[in-house]
Amino acid sequence: MQVVLNLGDKRAARLPLPRALQHPELDAEWDDETRTTTVSVEFPRGQLHLDVGDEGVEYHFHNARGEASDRSPFARADSSALLEWAIAFAADVHALMPGLEEDAGDAAAWHDEGYSIYVCETEPAQLDLLEVDIEGEILTLPWLGSGRVDQDHVEGDNHPIELLWNPHNDEPDRPIARAWLDPRTEEPRCASVPGVDWNEVGMPEAEVLTWLEDVYLNHHVIEDPASAIFMAALERIAGIDGSVPRDG
């Protein structure tokens, strides 16, 4: 899908990033109550978190174990350049919020309606064209067994969920199956919970596990279109998608 957005001056995109820190994973979230933007910049060796509001930018680091600290886990020679870039990036993103999230949602809605291009409403401005690959969802039938089902995240490695079931159309509360992501193949794996009466559930065990695998793919593997568009916008603002020449 093609998405045309007004992403502002993109000051951070022109700042140099250290050679060892060229490919961060980015995220940002707007808090409507506090009118602030939380920005995350993540690398295998650690993270930098920034909170941006009208009073400026606050930041802290996390090491590879996830422990928060005022000290950078990165090389001293790299940390100052990273911090300069990250503060500019966070300010760039904050200046576009919450409109950037809204534009991503609108573009995703256009995609759902079958349109191949979305153009934001704006006054005359230098706009950015983003090419975003959006993977379609797998066709999944509604639940065809008895009662009601729902899914819930549970504690454990590899992003596990439980399929919860209730035979009386009340709030699902009985685990009948579990799904998780195989770290070797990055594909979902499923298993039933021992002791389930599949006749009572109203679907054979194999069919339930196949159904749960498709649900897991759609909701936990295939990226949400709005998220894909939002992340593409963040990478363009940050200058890590290769579209903007950097200074230095």
Mean of per-residue pLDDT scores for the chain: 92
- 248 located within any domain: no
My answer on whether 115 and 97 are in the same domain is yes
pLDDT at 124: 87
Q: What angle do CA 166, 170, 171 make, to 5 degrees?
A: 80
My answer on whether 167 and 130 are in the same domain is no
- 116 located within any domain: yes
- How confident is the model over 215-243, as a mean pLDDT? 90
- 37 located within any domain: yes
My answer on whether 188 and 83 are in the same domain is no
Q: Which long-range contacts (CB under 8 A, 24 or more apart) does 225-228 make?
A: 225/1, 225/107, 225/108, 225/111, 225/112, 225/134, 226/104, 226/105, 226/107, 226/108, 227/104, 228/132, 228/133, 228/134
Residues 17-42: tens digit of each pLDDT: 999 999 999 999 999 999 999 999 99
- 194 located within any domain: yes
Residues 99-122: tens digit of each pLDDT: 999 999 999 999 888 899 999 988
pLDDT at 246: 57
Q: How far is CA 11 from CA 8, 44, 223, in A?
A: 8, 25, 28
- 243 located within any domain: no
Asked which of 44-58, 127-141, 145-159 is least confident by mean pLDDT, the reply is: 127-141
Residues 179-209: tens digit of each pLDDT: 999 988 888 999 999 999 999 999 999 999 9
pLDDT at 5: 96
Q: Which residues of 44-73 are buried (b: 16+ CB within 10 A; e: fewer)?
A: eebbbbbbbeeeebebebbeeeeeeeeebb
Query: Is 95's pLDDT higher than 90?
Result: yes
My answer on whether 34 and 128 are in the same domain is yes
Query: Is 245's pLDDT higher than 80?
Result: no
pLDDT at 206: 96
Q: State the amino acid at position 86 in one-letter form.
A: A
pLDDT at 223: 81
My answer on whether 103 and 172 are in the same domain is no
My answer on whether 18 and 72 are in the same domain is yes
My answer on whether 158 and 119 are in the same domain is no
- 143 located within any domain: no
My answer on whether 185 and 62 are in the same domain is no
Residues with Cβ within 8 Å of residue 42, at least 6 apart in sequence: 24, 25, 26, 27, 48
pLDDT at 192: 97
Q: What total of structural domains would you count in the chain?
A: 2
- 247 located within any domain: no
My answer on whether 20 and 37 are in the same domain is yes
Host domain of residue 199: 148-221
Position 244 confidence tier, pLDDT thresholds 50, 70, 90: low
- How confident is the model over 58-83, as a mean pLDDT? 92
Determine which helix (DSSP H) or strand (DSSP E) holds 51, and give its type and residue range. strand 46-53
pLDDT at 65: 86
Position 247 confidence tier, pLDDT thresholds 50, 70, 90: low
My answer on whether 175 and 102 are in the same domain is no
My answer on whether 113 and 191 are in the same domain is no
Question: Which residue is associated with the tokens 């639940």?
Answer: 143
- 140 located within any domain: no
My answer on whether 231 and 217 are in the same domain is no
Query: Which one-letter DSSP state was computed for residue 171?
Result: -
Q: Which residue has the higher pLDDT, 124 or 90?
A: 90
